[in-house]
Amino acid sequence: MEKNEKELAQLIQEISGLNPKKCMKCGKCSGACPAFHEMEYHPHQFVDMVDRGDVNRLLESKSIWMCLTCFACVERCPRDVKPANFIEAARLALIRQQGCNHLKDEAVPPLLDEEMPQQAIVSAYRKFKK
């Protein structure tokens, strides 16, 4: 069953188990993020977009796949909002949608980016192939 945008945002919140309302918009996450310049939407925006239920743009964006899950933002967030957990939840929400978005073998080579750590590609492949 297709979920509407609000329901998707709700799902992301549920998967993450976190409350985006706790965010005080200090931007420390984006200040700490090593992949900031690779992203169209940045960690502080993820939190805000999930909070406002504006998640379609986010799920379509490459940004969520650019997060290395290094947890710099989780470690430094003073409000316990943990942006990386939202990003992970967004990925899960996407792949949990039945019949779509699973990573296919042939889709991997075009995604390869020389600057992307190999480990990230391997773990993404393991995770999202099924």
Partner 1 sequence: MQRIGVFVCWCGSNIAATVDVQQVADELAKEPGVVYSTNYQYMCSQSGQQMIQEAIKEHHLTGIVICSCSPRMHEATFRKTAAAAGLNSYMVEIANIREQCSWIHKNKEEATEKAIILGRAAIAKVHLNAPLTAGESPVVKRALVIGGGIAGIQTALDIADAGFEVDIVEKKPTIGGKMAQIDKTFPTLDCAACILTPKMVDVAQNEKIHIYSYSEVESVKGFVGNFTATIKKKARYVKEDVCTGCGLCTEKCPMKKVPNEFNQMLDNRTAIYIPFAQAVPKVATIDPNACMMLKNGKCGVCSKVCTAGAIDYTQKDEYIEQQYGAIVVATGFNTIKLDNFDEFAYSQSPDVVTSLEFERLMNAAGPTGGTLLRPSDHTHPHTLVFVQCVGSRDISGCGKPYCSKICCMYTAKHAMLCREKYPDTEVYVFYIDVRTPGKNFDEFYRRAVEEYGVHYIKGMVGKVAPKDGKLMVQASDLLANDQLLIEADMVVLATAIEPDESARSIATMLTASMDTNDFFTEAHPKLRPVESPTAGIFLSGVCQGPKDIPETVSQASAAAAKVIGLLVKDKLTCNPCVAESNELMCNGCSACEKVCPYGAITYSDKEFRTPYRTTIMRRVASVNPAVCQGCGACTVACPSGAMDLKGFSTRQIMAEVDAICK
Q: Is 33 in the site for partner 1 (CB under 8 A)?
A: yes
Q: Which residue among 2, 37, 100, 110 contacts partner 1 (CB under 8 A)?
A: 37
Structure tokens at 59: 């799920």
- Binding segment toward partner 1, per CB under 8 A, in 34-42, 49-57, 110-118, 119-127: 34-42
Give me the least distance between CB of 44 and partner 1, in Å please.
Answer: 7
Give me the least distance between CB of 42 and partner 1, in Å please.
Answer: 7
Taking residue 8's Cβ as centre, other Cβ atoms within 10 Å add up to 21
User: Which region, left, alpha or beta, applies to residue 116 given φ > 0 means left and ψ of -120 to 50 means alpha?
Assistant: beta
Give me the least distance between CB of 106 and partner 1, in Å please.
Answer: 34
Alpha-carbon span 79 to 61, nearest angstrom: 26
Q: Which of 84, 63, 73, 69 is nearest to 119 (CA)?
A: 69
Q: Is 25 in the site for partner 1 (CB under 8 A)?
A: yes
Alpha-carbon span 43 to 33, nearest angstrom: 8
Q: Which residue among 44, 51, 58, 89 contacts partner 1 (CB under 8 A)?
A: 44
Q: Is 55 in the site for partner 1 (CB under 8 A)?
A: no
Dihedral, 20, 21, 27, 30 alpha carbons, nearest 10: 10
- Binding segment toward partner 1, per CB under 8 A, in 42-50, 63-71, 97-105, 109-117: 42-50
